[in-house]
Amino acid sequence: MAPKTDQRDMIYLDYAASTPVDPHVADLMADLLKSSGEHGNPSSAHAFGRRATTRIAHAAVQLGALLNVDPASLTWTSGATESDNLAILGAARLAQHRGRHLITMRTEHKAVTDAFDRLQREGFEVTWLDPGTDGLLDLAALEAEFRADTQLVSVMHVNNETGVIQDIAGIGALCRARGVLFHVDAAQSVGKLALDLAELPVDLLSMTAHKVYGPKGIGALYIADRPGVAVEPLLYGGGQQRGLRPGTLPTHQIAGFGLAAEIARESMHDDLERLTGLRDRLWGGIRDLPGIHVNGAKDARFPGILNVSIEDVEGESLLLALEPLCVATGSACNSTNSEPSYVLRALGRSDALAQSAIRFSFGRPTTGEEIDAAIDRYRLAVGKLRALAPECAA
């Protein structure tokens, strides 16, 4: 299952950007795409349509089991970006009679910040909260920002750049006590960390399949079955999915997501244990380098991500010198942009340190040998670039 490219010496350590499709998932999807598979339109009343509908219903049960929710509370989307947009734009616009004040964090994914930017242009008022230097949201700071007209709070579970885990139970409790809707972008945590939505005070939760060994192009939005929790659609069409997200459902992708969720549920404990070992092995191999810093909280951090900055090393050159390691400088969406990460800047990192940041992220196929190779390559690259750099001018 190693995600090799055509160059056999490539080492993929960018699982936070995307994961390879699990072979069982790929096999299932391939079978469904064959002429003997499920090509019927799930909206059709005939046997082919009913079979496709059954497949989709089964996938909802699988994903629902992972999150401990009623499958009927899940709406299929094209991925987390669409889920975020549907949740934020859909909820804010539908319930604007309740208030037009919204709260989010500066360290959210662009799929969230851009949606809030859009709402600001529509006349909503947005409070942008800064995290502490550890990347965590101070609950007291959040509490201080609530107003009578606050309608929605959106905070991601696991940060895609740093792996910092927010206290969504605490944030959700504050929201629930005030009757404020709470949306969580859980693209980086669904299938990786235990999420019991029957217990957590979360109203809307976005997820995607391709971060958890499922296919790209399919995601879901959880909408809690509670009074006052609803969104208005962004798309209009055939009325599928109760009109919330119309369009012919992609049976093979949904089935793939369902199976990926089932596999994640079964392997989560072992995955977390392995990822922790790999993360600690990598950090243990580079932590003695002078001027190296971990970005994000010491403890409340997802073990599948290690984000480090290093002094006196230029980030873009570091990324190139690290080849054949496939890692990220910031979020994958920003990988072609040499601007310092806005997430790391919000944590108080200088431009130079933010720009030198490398995000290593690990997955099920990652081996200890790959980690050892990454350690060697990182040390070599840092040494080379530091030797290349002149002393600072006096």
Partner 1 sequence: MSADPYSGRVRALFEHPVHAGSLEQAPQVLIEDQGVRIALTAQAEDGRIRAFRFRAYGCPHVVAAAEALCERYEGRPVAELEAFEAVDLVRDLPVPAEKTGRILVIEDAARSLGKTLRDVSGS
Question: Applying CB under 8 A, which residues contact partner 1?
Answer: 312, 314, 316-317, 320-321, 335-336, 338, 352, 385, 387-393
Residue closer to partner 1, measured from CB, 189 or 356: 356
**Token pair recorded at residue 88:** 């934020």
Instruction: Give Rg (Cα) of the chain.
Output: 22
Q: Is the peptide bond before 340 cis (omega within 30 degrees of 0)?
A: no
**Token pair recorded at residue 249:** 């459902």
Active-site entry in 175, 326, 333, 392 = 333
Cβ 252 to partner 1, closest distance in Å? 24
Residue closer to partner 1, measured from CB, 198 or 387: 387
Is the CB of residue 10 less than 8 Å from the CB of residue 236? no
Alpha-carbon distance 245 to 77, whole Å?
7
Residue closer to partner 1, measured from CB, 321 or 347: 321
Distances (CA, A) of 122 to 155, 233, 317: 21, 17, 41
Residue 303: closest CA among 275, 345, 328: 275
Crossing angle of helices 368-388 and 251-286, rounded to 10°: 60
Q: Please classify residue 185 by burial: count the beta carbons closer than 10 Å to its beta carbon, then call 0-12 exposed, 13-18 middle and 19+ buried.
A: buried
- Given the structure tokens 């007209």, which residue do they identify? 149
Residue closer to partner 1, measured from CB, 198 or 393: 393
Alpha-carbon distance 249 to 321, whole Å?
44
Residues in the chain: 394
DSSP annotation of 78 reads S
How many CA atoms does the CB half-sphere of 392 hold within 13 Å?
A: 4
Enclosing H/E stretch for 55: helix 47-67
Residue closer to partner 1, measured from CB, 232 or 323: 323
**Token pair recorded at residue 22:** 């699990």
Cβ 323 to partner 1, closest distance in Å? 9
Residue closer to partner 1, measured from CB, 177 or 388: 388
Is 333 assigned a catalytic role?
A: yes
Alpha-carbon distance 39 to 68, whole Å?
30
Other Cβ atoms closer than 10 A to 161:
29
Q: Please classify residue 337 by burial: count the beta carbons closer than 10 Å to its beta carbon, then call 0-12 exposed, 13-18 middle and 19+ buried.
A: exposed
Enclosing H/E stretch for 183: strand 181-185
Give backbone dihedrals phi and psi of 208, rounded to 5 degrees, phi first. -145, 155
Residue closer to partner 1, measured from CB, 265 or 384: 384
Alpha-carbon distance 109 to 350, whole Å?
20
Residue closer to partner 1, measured from CB, 47 or 393: 393
Q: Which residues are catalytic?
A: 333
